[in-house]
Amino acid sequence: MQNSARRTGEECTLPAVTQLQELLRSLPGPPDAVLHRLLVLVCEQLELDVAFVGLLDGPDRVVALAAGADGTRHTGVEGRREPLAETYCRHVLERGGLLERDTSLDADLSALALTEELGLACYAGVPLVLDGRPVGTLCAAGAARHPSLSARDLRMLQALAEVAAPLAAQLGSDVVGTAPDRSATLADLDRLVAATSGATDLESLARPLLEVLHDVTGLASTYLTTVDVAGGVQHVRLAHNTRADFALPEGLVVPWDDTLCKRSLDEGRACTPDVQAVWGDSDAARELGIAVYVSVPVELSDGRLWGTLCAADPQAPADGGPALERHLPALRLFARLVAGEVEREAALVAARETAARATADARTDPLTGLHGRRVVEPWLAEQLADLGPGEAVLVAYVDVDRFKAVNDAHGHAAGDAVLVAVADHLRALSRPDDLVARLGGDEFVLAARLPVGAAEALARRLREASAVPSEPPVTLSTGTAVRAGGAGQGAGAAGLLAEADAAMYRVKRR
Active site residues: 442
Rg (CA), the chain: 34
Give dist(CA 312, CA 308) in Å, integer.
13
Q: Closest Cα partner for 399 from 507, 510, 496? A: 507
Sign for the pseudo-dihedral over CA of 249, 252, 257, 258: negative
Residue pair 159/66 in contact by the 8 Å Cβ criterion: no
Give dist(CA 1, CA 11) in Å, integer.
23
Give dist(CA 498, CA 397) in Å, integer.
9
Give dist(CA 310, CA 265) in Å, integer.
12
DSSP assignment, residue 73?
B
Q: What are phi and psi of 416, to 5 degrees?
A: -65, -40
Q: What are phi and psi of 31, to 5 degrees?
A: -55, -40
Alpha helices, DSSP H only, in 172-311? 187-198, 202-217, 260-267, 275-278, 283-288
Task: Give kind and range of the element (H or E) at residue 396.
Answer: strand 391-400
Give dist(CA 499, CA 505) in Å, integer.
10
> What's the CA angle centered on 81, arms 80 and 84, to 5 degrees?
125
DSSP assignment, residue 399?
E
SS3 of residue 3 by DSSP: coil
